[in-house]
Structure 1
């Protein structure tokens, strides 16, 4: 692996800022970080980049690379996302995606593997409503149909054997935000899954998009939510429930805009930003310019925004994640993270520093990824170099000039580094 210096650059470590600093990379790890006054005298390649900012590679806390989508990991990396956290996929696809990460120009991959599902529960009705193929029906037939502690233990044994997941994902969706009556697990069943997963040392995350569903799954004891609410304004009860459990929220606000149909204008703006040319294909642009619209009649994106404002003000950790998925219109792997950061600053009221922390060090802290998320000695050399200052203008994150995963530079940006 290569050894090099990036120097004469503003460094955001994931927590702090060094106005004029350097990062020394050796064998895929960060060897040293500091101000230029302390830079070592080394005879190694060096990139001098005044007017630029060096950040930790972004961590997308929520994607779905359905059917082992071959676009997901390379496109994420091109947009500076060096790690993705998948929230549902079958074991056969997980194995394919893990093999992809051995190739150059792909993001690192974390996964829940197959989520904890019940008979006819989320997301089965949504998938089968739009996909009538025998292949999909056969795959869903293999999904867990949890109902009691014995089935939960069997499910976790199977996951341990087939996937060895990084965390466990619950589904707690009544369909309230979409006006669909869906089968939903009992709170007691969810509590059992949490208990049994914790015995094995797993973090537990959960899908919910309505106020009542979120309150219920927080009561079950999950570590964090992979969406926020959009069916009604947030309440103090919601804030108190998060605080009681010390839970975090990954609100997926860009996806909430697609879900309610109100995000189209912003999606179109990011899809046609001249800075993304060459980093994303035409089919992905088309995908981003459409909206899911499932909650257009029963939800509002402003409820989602207000929930994050309230939770942030109360000290609840907000993690950045896109919910980008191949079949889910309104998202694009990698690019939707930049839209999410924009929304955090311009709709929710975060500072750019808070937004960047939510996509780097804070995700790593809450998911217990001890080898990434910050620029510090001994951590993976997952780096994002941008022209300008995203700590002043969050949209500067799209001025991408270099991306490295474990010290290896993404080939899409080699020319821009010169």
Structure 2
């Protein structure tokens, strides 16, 4: 196995932009062996290296989708699960972060990813699946979130029985919950904080975790070396997660504009937010034209199957009457102004209305630019170096010597126009740990 050189390319390394750069990576180790931000003579290329002329293209780190779910609970019986990790890789997403799935599903998918990569290296073949990070199960409580959303569409006896096996975390069992997750290979801990006040359900319709419980889980998570993030869709629930000491929120809220108290808590914790504007738009039944646009795009480029194309067009439409997507836009703008990190994620799930794993991240990033005043490079940063930093994924997210060779080559200048990712030739090459995606 040899090296590959991409030369004369516009490089966005996850933070900064360089013109006429060269990047060399090694197939056997799966890592980047050199980065030059000035023209490199061909005599300096490794002997026998495969050489790619990157002129007219942009080279990016593999994108990171920081909020999705790898389970199949929203799919109808018999529906294919093949695209859960394949459709994101087609979109340049080399890492996905699952935010609540059963350990069996995660283990099954991780095994498939590892076996595929090993076989590709052995046979000089290609890969088709994104890398998978996971919280495993979130710190659920008896009868609490996300039970209503999972049981809402198809409450079969089998599904009810499965939900009953979810953790029932208490203050006393929080340390054991975290210890068990660490032993099973979790990458971070996920809290669930939901009272339904932003949803088309009566406020308090389900049991709600207490501040005491969430603090116990956060403390146990931090003691074990985990980042801890939390679900919340309203201001009051967001503040509970932040008062518990969490490192980030896996949604922003839609029930009201951002109050100063919430901003202050974000700043106190140095917490980050994963806005998930794509799924919030489905929740509030707004931005139908955006859903149609990206569904059309996904169909045209054959990124997902026909079921998912139709699924991307539909909306959950489960909001409380007062909830507005505009509040989410305003909150992201305000958090940015206050120096709070915004990390890209969509809450995409196979079968969840309004989402398609992979194309939804493109929509999410464009929403940051067009609705939240981000620059293109800031949006790209939110899906590369920033999530890697905030989740502690020290081996990826940036193009630098010694990092994983998770790379995306795009025809044109993505740093000036995000739509270059999908317009025209779009993505012309993806590598995961130095192995070409096929």
TM-score (norm 2): 0.90
Distance of aligned partners of 1:109 and 1:137 in 2 relative to their CA distance in 1, 3 Å threshold: same
CA distance in 2: counterparts of 1:275 and 1:25, whole angstroms: 33
Report the counterpart of residue 16 of structure 1 in structure 2. Answer: 16
Contact in 2 for aligned 1:18/1:34 (Cα 8 Å): no
Q: Distance in 1 between matches of 2:308 and 2:189?
A: 29
In the alignment, which residue of structure 1 is the partner of 2:31? Answer: 29
Distance 2:387 2:430 in 1: 19
Aligned counterpart for 1:301 among listed residues 322, 325, 328: 325
Match of 2:192 among 142, 148, 171: 171
Matches for 1:150-161 after TM superposition, within 5 Å: 151-161=173-183
User: Are the aligned partners of 1:2 and 1:407 in contact in 2 as well (CA < 8 Å)?
Assistant: no
SS in structure 1 opposite 2:72? helix
SS in 2 for 1:146: coil
Q: 1:276 to 1:101 in 2, by over 3 A?
A: farther
SS at match of 2:144: coil
Over 3 Å counting, the alpha-carbon distance change for 1:275 and 1:313 in structure 2 is: farther
1:323-402 matches, cutoff 5 A: 323-398=347-422, 399-402=426-429
- Is 1:86–1:110's contact at 8 Å kept on the other side of the alignment? yes
Match of 1:38 among 34, 37, 40: 40
1:72 aligns with 2:84: yes
In structure 1, the residue matched to 2:133 is 110
- 2: distance between equivalents of 1:58 and 1:315? 22
Q: Distance in 2 between matches of 1:404 and 1:2?
A: 14
Give the unaligned 5+ runs of structure 2: 74-80, 117-126
Aligned counterpart, 1:132: 155
The alignment partner of 2:266 has SS state of helix
Instruction: Tell me if the contact between 2:409 and 2:428 (Cα under 8 Å) persists in the aligned partners.
Output: yes
Corresponding residue for 2:59?
Answer: 54
| CA 1:2–1:77: 2 relative to 1, 3 Å | farther
Report the counterpart of residue 96 of structure 2 in structure 1. Answer: 84
Q: Which residue of 1 aligns with 2:432?
A: 405
* Distance in 1, Cα, partners of 2:292 & 2:50: 40
Q: Is the 8 A contact 1:260 1:297 kept in 2?
A: no
Q: SS where residue 11 of structure 1 aligns?
A: strand
Contact 1:5 1:45 in 2 (8 A): yes
255, 258, 270: which one pairs with 2:282? 258
Comparing 373-382 with 319-328, greater Cα deviation is found at: 319-328
Give the TM-score normalised by structure 1: 0.95
Offset of residue 70 of structure 1: 3.1
Structure 1: give runs of 5+ residues left out of the alignment: 412-418
Aligned partner of 2:109 in structure 1 is: 97
SS of structure 2 residue aligned to 1:110: strand
